[in-house]
Amino acid sequence: MTNKTHPISSSTQTTTSLLNDQLVDMTFITGYTNMTDKWFYRLISENAFPAPIKLGRSSRWLKSEVEKWMLDRIQASRG
């Protein structure tokens, strides 16, 4: 029997955090921020917002990345 490691992560810590994270869609992001999807796709094209994780035809984001982006924006706006 061979021991195969998970292809996404080489460390247990990263795997654990991914398992505890959520994948969210654009509807969640626009509701969370009250901004439009068009605005977010422009930010993605400018590398100013995390790129989506493509799952077939669906796009998802890690909730933790969206929250971090939002906290960074709040901190930047308050100096």
pLDDT of residue 79: 80
Phi, psi torsion values for 20, nearest 5 degrees: -90, -10
Mean pLDDT of 17-46: 95
Residue 56 in tokens = 């077939």
Using a pLDDT cut of 70, give the percent of the chain over it. Answer: 80
User: What pLDDT digit, counting tens, does each position of 32-59 carry?
Assistant: 999 999 999 999 999 999 999 999 999 9
pLDDT of residue 16: 63
Residue pair 41/30 in contact (Cβ under 8 Å)? The answer is no
